[in-house]
Amino acid sequence: MAVSVGYRMALVSLVMFGWSIARGEKIGLRPIDQPWVVVQGVLFFGLAFITFYHSTTLITSGISALVLSTSSLFAAVVGWLFLSAPVTMRMLFGIMSGIAGLAVIAMPQLLAVSSGPQTMAGVALALAAAACTGCGTVVAMRNQQAGIPISVLMSWAALFGALFSFALALFGDMSFKVDISAAYLAGLAYLAIIASCVTFFMYFSLVQRIGPASASYTLALVPVVALLLSALFENLTIDGYVIAGGIAVLFGNILVLSAPARQAGDLIFLSGQVPFGPDGALVGGDIETQTRQVLDNIAAALEQAGASLDDVVKTTIWLTDRNDFVRFNAVYAQYFPHLPPARSCVGAPLMVDANVEIEVVAYRPAPS
């Protein structure tokens, strides 16, 4: 296992170095960043793959994939502890919904598996793979925040993952003989270029955009896709377990990936907020009442993202009736009493029911 992972990651590193150089990226690493890139490489590109592959030799791939999906929980906890990455109840509920859905899907398989030493070892290895994936994702976020381009980061991290895998194989007295058959080389090329270079570049781009926990949660779709492929090619029956579990996974995706606030670098972008109350119903009343509700909603969303109204630097306001501006402004000033943010106000007479909508941009330096 370690030898195959080493060859795969060595090829990933070679391809990504070539791409980085072709794009004119500076491929050097600062001394302060080098240990962190090594850690990312060992965890994400080395141990995570080796332990997961070993787990699939002891338990079925469906159960291994189910356990691997818990990497989002590791990423959420570690990201919160070390990077102060915001973790909201909405996000945690979505993650748990996805994991519960996967458990329902795998229930028939789980009930059919004995709980012998081999099974327990397989689950432990899959759990180790999940921990390495989640922690490696958090370290990747730290490295990206340090300004390392994703292609350069992948080049070095994959190289360190390959070196670690080869060292492990050497320590374990494993054979380094390469299968030169066309099938093996074609499979290696596919795994390295398509399943690694392309996929992981997209994955780490997602980490940069939405954070480690949410990005790791996308792995929850892996066993679902595997089950669908099994239905097409292995005569798997799509029963009530699969349907119910699939709905739970999709619901979890909606909760995790549709949060109103997104952080990009040091800026937090909050989508336009209208006066929805805690019960989800539109709050009626005059412009003052609706303005307070909107600003309360904004404050709550920013708090979930680890910021506050004091961090807001820009607002865009839509008013159904421009004549409401004076009364709107009186309430608005109560929420921004000291250094009001820059703002734009636009008349929007076509808004239905809501008399006001506000979109904000906040400044919150990303953890270094």
Q: Is 356 helix (H, G, I), strand (E, B) or coil?
A: strand
- DSSP H helices, 69-193, are 71-83, 89-112, 117-145, 150-171, 182-189
Specify the pairing of strand 342-347 against strand 312-319.
Answer: parallel
Residue 238: Cβ within 10 Å count: 12
Amino acid at residue number 60: T
Does residue 318 sit in helix, strand or coil?
strand
> Cβ(131)–Cβ(8) under 8 Å?
no
Q: Strand order in 342-347's β-sheet?
A: 261-264, 267-273, 356-363, 312-319, 342-347
- Interhelix angle 61-68/117-145, rounded to 10 degrees, is 40
CA distance 130 to 87: 18
Are the beta carbons of 9 and 46 closer than 8 angstroms? yes
Give the three-class secondary structure for 269: strand
Choosing from 132, 135, 197, 345, which is the catalytic residue? Answer: 345
Q: What are phi and psi of 357, to 5 degrees?
A: -140, 140
Amino acid type, 170? L
Q: What is the spatial distance between Cα 265 and Cα 257, in angstroms, rounded to a whole number?
A: 18
DSSP 314: E
Catalytic-residue membership of 345 = yes
Catalytic residue annotation: 345
